[in-house]
Amino acid sequence: MTCKILKIIFLFLFLSNCNQTNLKTYKIEYPDKTKYSNLGFALIYNDNLDGLKKMDNNSLYIYHKFLKKKSRVKIINPANGKSLIALVKSNRENFSGFYNSVLSLRIAENLNLDLDDPYIEIISISNNTTFIAKKTKTFEEEKNVAEKAPIDGVLISDLNKKLKKKKKVKKKKFSYSIKVADFYYLDSAKMLIDRIKKNSSVRNVKIVKISDVKYRVLIGPFNDIKDIKIAFEQIMSLDFENLQILKNV
């Protein structure tokens, strides 16, 4: 009788270990949910946008899809490293999920964003985060600095010097990809690609090996903001978490 009991216990433990091994295949690496961070395109507010409440374009406010009202966020322009602190005015506004936020024009101008390519990073911050006071200005400090700042861009020409022809600025190449998810196992990444192809018309999907234990599923690259927006909105319908847009990958 004792022998039979031991056999049953051994069999139970063996099957449990097998189940745990199989479950690992589907493990996805998600970012730390205590701090939201996203790379993507912003929508610059104007009064002609449908579905949005009026925003003061001289403010340091943003609209976001799910960050709480009055949340503090750090907004960075990766192109030049400029950053500032802003506040979430509302998370109930109706705008396309392709955009990671709606920014006031003042924020766009302070960060020197390219309005045709408004690529930004948003990081949520808390009151006890050490870098807020040391490395960036608070919301009120940014407001005071901006109000006292002189107007730039007024140049006095020396009439005795010959006018030089302005060099043509070469337009930057648009090249972005959608980061869907990171996986610990290659098989899991392959399964995700099968799901994407089965449930959408998106086909330019690939796997990039980041390390021996990290495989990234990317869609792209895209050379037009309209094309990436169409693909992004299709993938959003499959309920993926925190899709991001990566530049030049």
Domains, the chain, ordered by start: 37-147 (2.40.40.10), 176-247 (3.30.70.1070)
What pLDDT does residue 34 have? 57
Write 51-56 long-range contacts (CB < 8 A, 24+): 51/93, 51/94, 51/95, 52/93, 52/94, 52/95, 52/102, 53/90, 53/93, 55/89, 55/102, 55/104, 56/104
Question: Do 116 and 172 form a contact (C-beta atoms < 8 A)?
Answer: no
| Torsion angle of C-alpha atoms 129, 100, 243, 126, degrees rounded to 10 | 10
Q: What is the pTM of this model?
A: 0.69
**What SS3 state is found at 189?**
helix
Record the tokens describing residue 2, joined without a space. 């004792």
d(CA 216, CA 180): 8
Highest mean pLDDT among 115-129, 210-224, 234-248: 210-224
- Percent of the chain at pLDDT exceeding 70: 68
Query: What are the pLDDT digits (tens) for 81-96?
Result: 999 999 999 999 999 9
Query: What are the pLDDT digits (tens) for 62-73?
Result: 999 989 999 999
Question: Do 182 and 210 form a contact (C-beta atoms < 8 A)?
Answer: yes
Could you please report the per-residue DSSP string of 55-73?
Answer: --TTS-EEE-SSSPTT-EE
d(CA 89, CA 129): 21
Question: Do 176 and 204 form a contact (C-beta atoms < 8 A)?
Answer: no
d(CA 79, CA 120): 9
| Torsion angle of C-alpha atoms 97, 242, 185, 17, degrees rounded to 10 | -120
E strand or H helix at 214: strand 214-222
d(CA 67, CA 248): 28
Query: What are the pLDDT digits (tens) for 19-68?
Result: 443 433 334 444 444 588 999 999 999 999 988 999 999 999 999 998 99
- DSSP letter for 4, please: H
d(CA 130, CA 243): 27
Query: What are the pLDDT digits (tens) for 196-227?
Result: 999 999 999 999 999 999 999 999 999 999 99
d(CA 48, CA 53): 11
Record the tokens describing residue 188, joined without a space. 């899991």
d(CA 185, CA 216): 10
